Structure 1
Amino acid sequence: MLNALEVFTTVVVGVMVGVEFSVAFVMNPIFNGLSDDSNQQARSHGGRMLGAVMPFWYIGSLVLAAVWAITGWGHRGTGLVVTAAALLIVSVVMSLLLLVPINNRGKTWTPETRPADWKEQMKRWDRYHYVRVAIIIGAFALLAAALV
């Protein structure tokens, strides 16, 4: 049972990392190459779509890591899992305090209603997102290391 939890948790976090990595290094650069209206509309749509899913994914990943740490307490690799869970906590707090407020504004914008500084706000979101991606990559690497 513990082995299944370990693998499932690692896969869930790994797929989340893949999605967030793709947003940072594939999708947003593609959007930035579009006209301002198309870029902003794509980011707004992405903010609505991923904004509806990612809270469950981040919290679910954290819960899975915590359950793994508790269930596997005393087993080899538990320290790595606890550290990964701590990094996932940082990613959730960072999301709530820094990224979600920008996303909540951005997902309502249209070409007619976006503020004059919308590009600066998106650049700020991107910078925070790069840091968050690094944090969750670290958590994923720790979980993967705890498997072996």
Structure 2
Amino acid sequence: MLNALEVFTTVVFGVMVGVEFSVAFVINRILDALPGDSGQLGRAHGGRMLGAVMPVWYIASLVLVVVWAVAGRHRHGTGLAVAAGVLLLVSVIMSVLLLVPINNRGKTWTPENRPEDWKEQTNRWDRLHHVRVAVLIAAFALLVAALA
């Protein structure tokens, strides 16, 4: 049963990391290359859509990692799972304190109501998101190593 939990957790968390990586290095680059206001409108829509889904995914992933660490506390690799959980928690805290406030503003922007510094705010979100993705990749690597 623990093996199934470990695999399920790794898949759920791994797909989430893939989505975040894709947003950082594929989707946002595509949106930024669109003409006119299309990119900003696409980012606003993505902020609304992913802003609704990602909190649930992050918390579910964190809960799964905690359950894995508790259930497997006497097994080899549990320390790595705990370290992965700590990094995932860091990414959640970072999200709530730094990224969500920018996203909450950006998801309401239209070409008519966006602030003058909207590009600077978008660039700040991108930089912070890149750091978050790096933290998530490190956590995922630790989780995979815990399986070995």
- The offset of 1:35, in angstroms, is 2.5
2:56 and 2:33 map into 1 onto residues whose CA distance is 30
How many residues in Structure 1 have an aligned counterpart in Structure 2? 148
Q: Which residue of 1 aligns with 2:3?
A: 3
TM-score (norm 1): 0.99
1:109 and 1:126 map into 2 onto residues whose CA distance is 16
1:68 and 1:131 map into 2 onto residues whose CA distance is 25
2:139 and 2:23 map into 1 onto residues whose CA distance is 18
Consecutive unaligned residues in structure 2, runs of 5 or more: none
Q: Which residue of 1 aligns with 2:37?
A: 37
Q: Which residue of 2 aligns with 1:87?
A: 87
1:59 and 1:127 map into 2 onto residues whose CA distance is 23
Q: Which residue of 2 aligns with 1:28?
A: 28
Identity of aligned residues (%): 73
Report the RMSD for the aligned CA atoms in angstroms. Answer: 0.6
Q: Which residue of 1 aligns with 2:104?
A: 104
1:36 and 1:137 map into 2 onto residues whose CA distance is 33
2:101 and 2:36 map into 1 onto residues whose CA distance is 21
Q: Which residue of 1 aligns with 2:12?
A: 12
Secondary structure of residue in 1 paired with 2:37:
helix
